[in-house]
Structure 1
Amino acid sequence: MRKKTLVFSLLLACATAFGQSSYDLVIVGGNPGGIMAAISAARMGKKSVILERTRYVGGLPANGLGATDIATRAATTGLFREFVDAVKQHYIDTYGPASEQVKVCSDGYHFEPYVGARIFQKMLDGQKDKITVLIMRQFDAEDENIVMRNNRIEKIRILNRETGEMEEYTGSVFLDATYEGDLGAAASVPFRVGREGKDEFGEPGAGRVYKYWGGPEGDGSTFKKDNAVQSYNYRLCLTNNPENRVPFTKPARYNREDYASIVEDVWTGRNTDVAMQRVTSEMMEENRKHIKAGNPSKLPGDKWGIAKITNIVHVPNMKTDANNQHGVFVSTDLPEENWPWPTSSWEWRDKFAQRLREYTEGLFWFVQNDPELPTHFRKAAKEWGLSKDEYVDNGHFPRQVYVREGRRFEGAYFFTANDAIPVTIGSRPPIHESSITASHYALDSHAVRKREKGRAHLDGFLSYPSAVYTVPYGVMVPKEVDNLLLPVPVLGSHIGFSTLRMEPCWMAMGQAAGIASALSIDGKVKVQNIDLSRLQDKLIDQKVTLMYFKDVDYTSPHFRMVQYLGLRGYLPEWTARLQEPVDAATLAAWKKLSGTDLPGIEAGKTTRLAALDMIYRKIK
């Protein structure tokens, strides 16, 4: 495995030394946003280079995030849906359509890390004549690494981490597909780090907030702005299959104090779930006796064994996507210590990544071995270990930190929680006519501070409901750099960004960035001035859902028409109801909106489809 990687790296280095260093698109970052940008641009005939700092492309879905974070699956389609469908087909082809693996893959939305990486590579290979992937290429957000003239990036300088040499890349359009926003920062695009206060945008969950998981905001909540950054972790691929299980080992710099408070949490059952509001001290002492008698915890909301420190979602072949456990005080997140990450050097980031790995390994060692924990708790925890067949060149541990939030930029449109919340109960969030994708996930942030005495939960660990929303093109467009797009470190508040930051949405925004780049190049216009209607047409050509409807998806022959008119106010509800007769009030509204009499269309007799089709042909 290592030999193949080395040979591949050397070939890439030679290709750069003697080959092309100028491209249509220069994409910094090989995560899903960058990958999809390159693929969508390739489908429009444009050549891209992806400059990836590590030896592997794929970002978090190739590093343990195998349980796809999306609330309404049909909301986000396009290349993301192609990825999901390819995952499902992999399991069908490998194990058979009736296999357990196909069942557990959940229609392709749950997958093993190596499968995610393999699908991304196959998608890239499908455009290998137009996409160059260069690994071990590091961009540092320093002035000397970017050359700009007349509000345009002319070239960037990249460190080849294998040779130690600097390389230069020129392009027509540059894309920042880093989780941190390093390229945008180097281009002097204004950015934010930290949390806005509730007074700025009136967002739920803004500022300093303490709340039980699933409960109301509680004591200590000030809703004031600060410089806090939500915590990072590793998404672990665990297994309880003895034949594929690698036990955790005690790290060299093990610090028991990082985990000591877990002991009392286990014995009493203390947790951070909303159910704790009904728990008394007497109930916790009774639970301690219950556990001493050899039983698992019986306290409401409490977890036992490995689930006490990590949330587990199953993926095929007896593996997991193991994330931070949201119902406890100590888990795989490491709050506070990551705050410098967004604006720090890679030297600092690498040191923190190692600290986070050792913290995580120590956490699992602790719950499996610490003598102060109940014997039967430790035994239950020891059923789990790392998957032997994943990350074989990295000690079976993920290669990439889950950077949930880096820099958040300012520019053409600043996305807030209000863009993801229904305007009225049951209605849609605001509809953006310039939408580049629909998306849906909760307003979701992980903790920003470690455990504090007397608090119901960790500061900033929260979730608020949203509804399927539209994402305007402006969220990735700076105001004053004419050939730069920001499809990953997009423009938004801490709470607004918390829903955009999911990989399906990043893939969709990357796809839109690739097409927008092609249109900018072909039209010889700034990225700010591309024809948005053409962008949307091209996105629909690639089966992207711009506005979600419950009854019309991208497979419908009427999809293009419904998308176009929906974004322009003709279909504000969740269903299009194309086969129903158009009522008088709706017909009158459509006539006014379209500025036409719609001859031959009769209320109560003509279908909504016929009326909308006539409008579409007249105004499109």
Structure 2
Amino acid sequence: MKKIKLAAIFLAFLVVWACAVKQSNKANHPDVVIYGGTSAAITAAVQLAQMDKNVLIVCPEKHIGGLSASGLGYTDVGDKSVIGGLSREFYHRVYLHYQNDEAWKWQPRSEYGNQGQGTTAINDSMQTMWTFEPHVAENIFEEFVAENNITILRDEWLDRENGVEVIDGKIKSITMLSGKKFEAEIFMDATYEGDLMAAAGVNYHVGREANSVYNETWNGVQKGVFHHGHNFHHQQLNISPYVIPGDPSSGVLPRISTEPPGENGSGDKRIQAYNYRLCTTNAEGNYVPFEKPENYDPAQYELLRRVFRAGRHSMFGGGKIPNGKRDVNNVGPFSSDNIGMNYDYPEASYEERKVILQEHIDYHQGLLYFWCTDESVPENLRLKMRKWGLAKDEFVDNNHWPYQIYVREARRMLGEFVMTDNEILGKKPVDKSIGMGSYAMDSHNTQRYITEEGYVQNEGDLGVEPPAPYQIHLGTIVPKREECKNLLVLTAVSSSHIAFGSIRMEPVFMVLGQSAGVLAGMAMEKGVDLHEVDYHELADQLHAAGQILDISNK
């Protein structure tokens, strides 16, 4: 009996040792290194693991999942039926989570009703839910990682100046600021900023292209185009931008540019505004009141005072998510979008980005306090706002503030194929589809300027619906062959500004991540470069993985 016990202990030791060796090999000898911890990184890693490839995620984030786990719980999706594969699996797991009565701590499940945007698609067993709490999303991503034995090294920051070694058109290694160095056959950039792509010398674009560059309609400056209510045209708000209304000599109010806006259709370096997607609630016992920031300056919101006095009272936008919470987004002409304050972010150093992020936090937290306290806000709205706060059970190690800002757009690769509004609107075909999108070409405002008539106005906010779901080209994730042969770009994809406004939705990023995983796995199995994988064979593998490549494949 004693010998049997010793043998069992020894066998258990061997199992543990083998698992440790396997995990060590994954970290020290990966086939693929993914830089970034976004939702696309997770689906790419899961796909590679399921193809029995050693994959390592190295990311600056401590919390994985990108915006899907950082406040964007009211999913922008369009036609849900074209979302397949692991992306749909994610939303299926959301659905399964909320079937459990224990998941409804702060709100009766029956009260929430059908607000989860639920659908049955692909087959009757694949029920999905598209609204969720941030911590639920993060837990699902962590489940994906654990189930597939994926190794993640967190809080690791790429040395963007000297940390990418490229030899003969291939990335040989990447080095972090910590000094850790990683080699692999294939690398993936899964950051919203495109940091690895840029450091590897791959060409990219920042800002809006002129319409003439790709023969587009909806790119570049769009003065006088008002698709939503996020401007001063709505209700004909003729508001003076000057400290003393109507007197240019008195100076300009904060957060209004004095630069000329540019001619319609012309390109510029401006990028659409960022904000934080807050998770708020009014559930008793689960909210943290909006407090006065240390450096609160009410003068920063003088323009908003004038908006209120003119009769426009939009404040608290966003969609309902479970447990009495809201995913809060920008609404109206002056809201949480910090217009014009992010232009330097894509190319900024880490330290410079920290300054920009803190400016956005200060602005946003000050805005919340302003809404609760300033006398220009109608009293009934002030009292209502004071009943809301940040959800106490979200982002618990970050003062209940989202982990990541909403980087709606930063760098965009100039890859093998550039998606434009022509492909989104069905004017030009796509012959090598790796997934589909369907959401409107959505751009938030890029600037707040002074009109010729002497009034303040916002510009850049667009929403152009495609006539049908569209295909996304393989070349959007693949750099030009002569620039890099072993890199895939999952999020800073090759597209024009306005086309990116549709592609950038989180369900689509997850689709592109999985497709990149299939492509990388096939390239290694065949012993060829990424650019040499036969598309028809790739399409077969993508279909097998549950991806939807065209409408007939729905």
Same structural fold, with TM-score higher than 0.5 when normalized by the shorter chain:
yes
Indicate the residue corresponding to 1:600 in structure 2. Answer: none
In 2, Cα distance between equivalents of 1:267 and 1:24: 60
Amino acid at match of 1:483: N
In 1, Cα distance between equivalents of 2:101 and 2:88: 20
Q: Does 1:498 align with 2:516?
A: no
Deviation at 1:15, TM superposition (A): 11
SS in 1 for 2:460: coil
Indicate the residue corresponding to 2:73 in structure 1. Answer: 66
Flag the 1:385–1:494 CA change in 2: closer, same or farther, 3 A: same
Q: Which structure is higher in helix share?
A: 1
In 2, Cα distance between equivalents of 1:330 and 1:184: 34
In 1, Cα distance between equivalents of 2:375 and 2:455: 28
Alignment of 1:184-263 (within 5 A): 184-210=197-223, 211-214=225-228, 222-263=264-305
In 1, Cα distance between equivalents of 2:24 and 2:112: 44
- Checking the alignment, whether the CA contact within 8 Å between 2:317 and 2:328 is kept in structure 1 is yes
Deviation at 1:101, TM superposition (A): 5.0
Deviation at 1:122, TM superposition (A): 0.9
Deviation at 1:537, TM superposition (A): 1.3
Indicate the residue corresponding to 2:550 in structure 1. Answer: 547
Deviation at 1:494, TM superposition (A): 0.6
Indicate the residue corresponding to 2:460 in structure 1. Answer: 460
In 2, Cα distance between equivalents of 1:335 and 1:174: 34
Q: Does 1:509 align with 2:512?
A: yes
Q: Does 1:113 align with 2:134?
A: yes
Alignment of 1:303-314 (within 5 A): 304=313, 308-314=314-320
Deviation at 1:455, TM superposition (A): 5.9
Deviation at 1:75, TM superposition (A): 1.3
Normalised to the residue count of structure 2, the TM-score between the two structures is 0.83
SS in 2 for 1:309: coil
SS in 2 for 1:121: helix
Flag the 1:96–1:347 CA change in 2: closer, same or farther, 3 A: closer
> Please, which moves more after superposition, 261-270 or 532-541?
261-270
Indicate the residue corresponding to 1:172 in structure 2. Answer: 185
In 2, Cα distance between equivalents of 1:542 and 1:527: 18
Indicate the residue corresponding to 1:11 in structure 2. Answer: none
Deviation at 1:518, TM superposition (A): 0.6
Deviation at 1:96, TM superposition (A): 8.3
> Please, which moves more after superposition, 533-542 or 408-417?
533-542
Indicate the residue corresponding to 2:355 in structure 1. Answer: 351
Indicate the residue corresponding to 1:389 in structure 2. Answer: 393
Flag the 1:109–1:18 CA change in 2: closer, same or farther, 3 A: closer
Amino acid at match of 1:535: L
- Checking the alignment, whether the CA contact within 8 Å between 1:435 and 1:471 is kept in structure 2 is yes
Q: Could you report, residue by residue, the CA deviation over 1:579-620 in whole angstroms, capped at 9, with x for unpaired residues?
A: xxxxxxxxxxxxxxxxxxxxxxxxxxxxxxxxxxxxxxxxxx
Among all aligned residue pairs of Structure 1 and Structure 2, give the percentage whose two residues are the same amino acid. 35
Alignment of 1:114-513 (within 5 A): 114-128=135-149, 131-142=150-161, 144-159=162-177, 165-210=178-223, 211-214=225-228, 222-270=264-312, 304=313, 308-325=314-331, 328-423=332-427, 430-450=428-448, 452=450, 457-466=457-466, 467-479=468-480, 480=482, 481-513=484-516
- Checking the alignment, whether the CA contact within 8 Å between 2:293 and 2:365 is kept in structure 1 is yes
Indicate the residue corresponding to 1:534 in structure 2. Answer: 537
Deviation at 1:256, TM superposition (A): 1.4
Indicate the residue corresponding to 1:83 in structure 2. Answer: 90
Deviation at 1:111, TM superposition (A): 0.2
Normalised to the residue count of structure 1, the TM-score between the two structures is 0.75
Q: Which has the higher contact order (CA 8 A, sep 6+)?
A: 2
Flag the 1:516–1:19 CA change in 2: closer, same or farther, 3 A: closer
> Please, which moves more after superposition, 174-183 or 462-471?
462-471
- Checking the alignment, whether the CA contact within 8 Å between 1:91 and 1:101 is kept in structure 2 is no
In 2, Cα distance between equivalents of 1:196 and 1:339: 15
In 2, Cα distance between equivalents of 1:67 and 1:548: 25
Q: Could you report, residue by residue, the CA deviation over 1:57-113 in whole angstroms, capped at 9, with x for unpaired residues?
A: 110010000011111010111111000000000010244897445744332100000
- Checking the alignment, whether the CA contact within 8 Å between 2:26 and 2:56 is kept in structure 1 is no
Amino acid at match of 1:332: S
- Checking the alignment, whether the CA contact within 8 Å between 1:76 and 1:508 is kept in structure 2 is yes
Q: Could you report, residue by residue, the CA deviation over 1:128-180 in whole angstroms, capped at 9, with x for unpaired residues?
A: 1xx211110111321x2011111111100012xxxxx3100011100000100
- Unaligned 5+ residue runs, structure 2? 1-20, 119-128, 234-260
Deviation at 1:357, TM superposition (A): 1.1
Amino acid at match of 1:180: E
- Checking the alignment, whether the CA contact within 8 Å between 1:76 and 1:438 is kept in structure 2 is yes
SS in 1 for 2:173: strand
- Checking the alignment, whether the CA contact within 8 Å between 2:308 and 2:376 is kept in structure 1 is no
In terms of Rg, which structure is larger?
Answer: 1
Flag the 1:137–1:208 CA change in 2: closer, same or farther, 3 A: same
In 2, Cα distance between equivalents of 1:399 and 1:548: 36
Deviation at 1:422, TM superposition (A): 3.0
Amino acid at match of 2:157: Q
In 2, Cα distance between equivalents of 1:367 and 1:19: 50
In 2, Cα distance between equivalents of 1:69 and 1:141: 32
SS in 2 for 1:505: helix
Flag the 1:436–1:384 CA change in 2: closer, same or farther, 3 A: same
Indicate the residue corresponding to 1:563 in structure 2. Answer: none
Indicate the residue corresponding to 1:594 in structure 2. Answer: none
In 2, Cα distance between equivalents of 1:35 and 1:101: 29
SS in 2 for 1:254: coil
- Checking the alignment, whether the CA contact within 8 Å between 1:213 and 1:457 is kept in structure 2 is no
SS in 2 for 1:463: strand
- Checking the alignment, whether the CA contact within 8 Å between 1:247 and 1:386 is kept in structure 2 is yes
SS in 1 for 2:47: helix
- Checking the alignment, whether the CA contact within 8 Å between 1:31 and 1:59 is kept in structure 2 is yes
Equivalent pairs, count:
486
Flag the 1:431–1:57 CA change in 2: closer, same or farther, 3 A: same
- Checking the alignment, whether the CA contact within 8 Å between 1:80 and 1:504 is kept in structure 2 is yes
Flag the 1:99–1:378 CA change in 2: closer, same or farther, 3 A: closer
In 2, Cα distance between equivalents of 1:337 and 1:32: 26
- Checking the alignment, whether the CA contact within 8 Å between 1:96 and 1:102 is kept in structure 2 is no
Indicate the residue corresponding to 2:236 in structure 1. Answer: none
In 2, Cα distance between equivalents of 1:215 and 1:65: 21
Deviation at 1:212, TM superposition (A): 2.4
Q: Could you report, residue by residue, the CA deviation over 1:16-75 in whole angstroms, capped at 9, with x for unpaired residues?
A: 999832311100001011111101111111111111202111100100000111110101
- Unaligned 5+ residue runs, structure 1? 1-13, 160-164, 271-303, 424-429, 554-620
SS in 1 for 2:56: strand
